[in-house]
């Protein structure tokens, strides 16, 4: 209605055309087109954020066309998607806005284009702000941007224009979008890390359906981008829809999330984003050129979500913060050694811990035992961390439901406690170990986890054995051993796990046979076994299986064709990929 009103009533000096409702405005616009325009009509709707808006302009008029520009993907209509700007196009767009004088050399122009990250809106707005300015002003702008200042801080117009992207979102999507500010710049965010948080914060399902749907909705609006590993493209989801999915975000859109999270006073923010400047913990405050030290905040902070990002030189000198309401903690770190803060002991409401090391070497924690104080923890995700120092108090946490070790050094973390009588994570339902290259066998101490429903041990190339105690996991429903290239056999006791419904042994290159009584797995419905080139025959007991689907490459499919109770899905094997797994 606003658009049509502006079209019919461009100023207050002419007689105003009244509109009773949106439907009335729509009818009057259609009547205007029919009665006053004899030739073809092209209506352009620029920067649209709602599909329902377009419907208001769908008229059955001959030679009438509507062109819509939008940063979101509107699937209902024919789409032409523009590629990101090339270096040459970015420079051209910037020059059109900045109109640099002859004294501004090409090097300065290129530096500004780089600082604007080739973002069209930024190139136009920042370029326009430099129009007619002399070289010192250009160099001052470059210096500020190079020192870490955001374009959003330096130019209110860019912030205002980008913020419309956020304002157009539904409330639940706004919350999800704001969470992207918790992670580091220019890094892939695993969708599984978001799943861990959002299961608790927004009541998402454990399978990742809700989480991936929210990510896709943000992707349609071009607020994030989804990348998928090659493996995920080959096979359907294995219970976890977020597995092998990653999210990236343009720096400006991440900075927008940070700015929006920083609007309230520090102590009142629901999300508190902290970064370390050398050894000083700071956070952003609107209107301040430099971040503010947390040491100046004496009152307890009400943050429900806390993100702390530290660099390589951080010495773990923590100030005494009071954050008793934190439920989700995201630690982004880069140092080889790290000491968890003592104030963690006071965060008794914390349920989710996500630790990611972005440094070259795995991080060793000096005091991982602090986690043993957090009795309400339900989910822990550690990436590129040395966990050989797990102690009884950590393993005895009563409410842990899911643990993920990604590219971690696990050493003898579990074996050293095998002789102890500790009841390891009594409510554990899911454990994930991915690219843990020093894992040699499945920790037998976990075989007493009676509630364990999903075990995922993937890309652990040194794992060669699974003990017969594995058969004690009678509640297990999903077992993924994908790309454990040295695993030679499955334990015979696996046939005792009657609830097992999904088995993934894809690219287990050294696996030479299936257990003799494999047919006893009466609950088995799906097997993934692409790349199991060492298996040359199947046990006769597989005849007892019913309603089973096998996904494999052509070579393996011949072994299954003799059995009528099997539906075979043949996928193509990438031999180069298989070779890389061996290497």
pLDDT digits (tens, 9 = 90+) for 54-78: 888 888 888 888 888 876 677 777 8
Residue 395 pLDDT: 79
H/E stretch holding 197:
helix 191-201
- List, for residues 114-131, the tens digit of each pLDDT value: 887 777 877 877 787 788
H/E stretch holding 188:
none
Q: Is the pLDDT of residue 258 over 60?
A: yes
Residue 104 pLDDT: 86
Residue 238 pLDDT: 59
Percent of the chain with pLDDT over 70: 86
- Average pLDDT of the chain is 84
Tokens 């326009």 -> residue: 128
Residue 116 pLDDT: 79
Most confident of 284-288, 371-375, 517-521: 517-521
User: Are 407 and 436 spatial neighbours (Cβ–Cβ below 8 Å)?
Assistant: yes
Task: Name the DSSP class of 296.
Answer: G
Lowest mean pLDDT among 200-209, 359-368, 454-463: 359-368
Query: Binning pLDDT at 50, 70 and 90, where does residue 208 land?
Result: very high
Kindly report the number of other CB atoms within 10 A of residue 317's CB atom.
12
Residues 6+ apart with CB under 8 A from 449: 424, 425, 426, 428, 431, 473
Closest-CA residue to 273 (of 256, 295, 258):
258
Buried-exposed string 359-392: b where 16+ CB fall within 10 A, e elsewhere: eeebbbbeebebbbbbeebbbbbbbbbbbbebee
Q: Is the pLDDT of residue 473 over 60?
A: yes
Give the CA count within 13 Å in the CB-facing half-sphere of 189.
28
- List, for residues 111-170, the tens digit of each pLDDT value: 888 887 777 877 877 787 788 888 888 888 888 777 666 666 656 667 776 777 788 788
The model's pTM: 0.77
Task: Name the DSSP class of 345.
Answer: G
Residue 289 pLDDT: 63
Longest dimension (CA), the chain: 90
Percent of the chain with pLDDT over 90: 37
Grouping H, G, I as helix, E, B as strand and the rest as coil, residue 365 is strand
| Angle between helix 120-129 and helix 156-167 axes, rounded to 10 deg | 150
Lowest mean pLDDT among 129-133, 397-401, 572-576: 572-576
Query: Binning pLDDT at 50, 70 and 90, where does residue 313 land?
Result: confident
- List, for residues 404-456, the tens digit of each pLDDT value: 999 998 877 776 555 455 678 889 999 999 999 899 988 888 888 889 999 99
DSSP string across 77-122: S---PPPPPPHHHHHHHHHHHH---TTS-HHHHHHHHHHTTT-HHH
Strand partners, 308: 274, 331
Closest-CA residue to 212 (of 188, 246, 161):
246
Residue 561 pLDDT: 87
Residues 6+ apart with CB under 8 A from 198: 176, 179, 204, 210, 211, 214
What is the distance between the alpha carbons of residues 376 and 379, in angstroms, rounded to a whole number? 9
Q: Is the pLDDT of residue 547 over 60?
A: yes
Lowest mean pLDDT among 144-153, 184-193, 283-292: 144-153
What is the distance between the alpha carbons of residues 506 and 551, in angstroms, rounded to a whole number? 9
Residue 44 pLDDT: 87
């Amino acid at each position: 209605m606003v658009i049509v009103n502006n079209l019919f009533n461009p100023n207050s000096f002419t007689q105003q055309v009244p509109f009773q409702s949106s439907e009335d405005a729509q009818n009057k616009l259609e009547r205007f087109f029919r009665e006053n325009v004899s030739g073809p009509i092209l209506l352009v709707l620029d920067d649209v954020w709602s599909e329902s808006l377009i419907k208001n302009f769908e008229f059955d008029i001959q030679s009438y066309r509507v062109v819509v520009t939008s940063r979101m993907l509107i699937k209902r209509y024919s789409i032409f998607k523009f590629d990101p700007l090339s270096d040459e196009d970015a420079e051209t767009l910037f020059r059109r806005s900045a109109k640099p004088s002859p004294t501004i050399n090409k090097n300065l122009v290129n530096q500004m284009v780089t600082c604007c990250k080739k973002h069209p809106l930024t190139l136009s707005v920042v370029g326009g702000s430099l129009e007619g300015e002399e070289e010192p002003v250009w160099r001052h702008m470059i210096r500020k941007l190079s020192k870490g200042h955001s374009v959003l801080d330096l130019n209110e117009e860019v912030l205002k224009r980008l913020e419309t992207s956020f304002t157009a979102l539904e409330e639940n999507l706004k919350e999800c979008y704001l969470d992207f500010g918790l992670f580091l710049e220019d890094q892939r965010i695993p969708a599984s890390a978001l799943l861990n948080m959002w299961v608790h914060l927004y009541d998402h399902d454990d399978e990742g359906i809700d989480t991936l749907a929210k990510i896709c909705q943000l992707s349609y609006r071009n607020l994030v981008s989804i990348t998928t590993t090659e493996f995920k493209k080959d096979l359907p989801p294995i219970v976890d829809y977020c597995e092998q999915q990653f999210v990236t975000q343009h720096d400006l859109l991440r900075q927008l999330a940070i700015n929006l999270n920083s609007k309230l006073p520090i102590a009142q923010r629901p999300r508190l984003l902290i970064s370390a400047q050398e050894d000083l913990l700071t956070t952003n405050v609107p209107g301040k050129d430099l971040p503010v030290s947390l040491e100046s905040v004496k009152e307890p902070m009400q943050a429900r979500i806390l993100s702390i990002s530290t660099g390589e030189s951080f010495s773990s000198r923590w100030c005494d913060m009071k954050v008793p309401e934190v439920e989700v903690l995201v630690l982004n770190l880069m140092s080889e050694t790290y000491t968890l803060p003592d104030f963690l002991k006071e965060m008794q409401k914390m349920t989710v811990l996500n630790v990611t090391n972005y440094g070259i070497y795995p991080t060793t924690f000096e005091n991982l035992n602090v986690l043993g104080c957090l009795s309400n923890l339900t989910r822990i995700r550690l990436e590129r961390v040395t966990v050989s120092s797990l102690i009884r108090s950590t393993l005895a946490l009563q409410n842990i439901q899911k643990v993920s070790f990604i590219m971690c050094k696990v050493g003898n973390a579990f074996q050293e406690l095998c002789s102890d009588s500790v009841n390891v994570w009594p409510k554990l339902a899911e454990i994930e170990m991915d690219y843990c290259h020093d894992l040699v066998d499945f920790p037998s101490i976990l075989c007493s986890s009676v509630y364990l429903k999903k075990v995922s041990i993937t890309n652990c190339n040194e794992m060669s054995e699974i003990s017969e105690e594995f058969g004690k996991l009678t509640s297990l429903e999903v077992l993924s051993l994908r790309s454990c290239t040295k695993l030679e056999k499955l334990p015979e006791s696996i046939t005792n796990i009657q609830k097992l419904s999904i088995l993934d042994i894809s690219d287990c290159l050294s696996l030479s046979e299936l257990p003799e009584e494999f047919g006893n797995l009466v609950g088995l419905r799906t097997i993934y076994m692409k790349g199991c080139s060492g298996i040359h025959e199947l046990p006769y007991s597989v005849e007892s299986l019913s309603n089973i689907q096998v996904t494999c490459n052509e070579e393996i499919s011949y072994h299954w064709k003799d059995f009528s109770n099997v539906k075979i899905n043949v996928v193509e094997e990438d031999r180069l990929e298989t070779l890389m797994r061996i290497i």
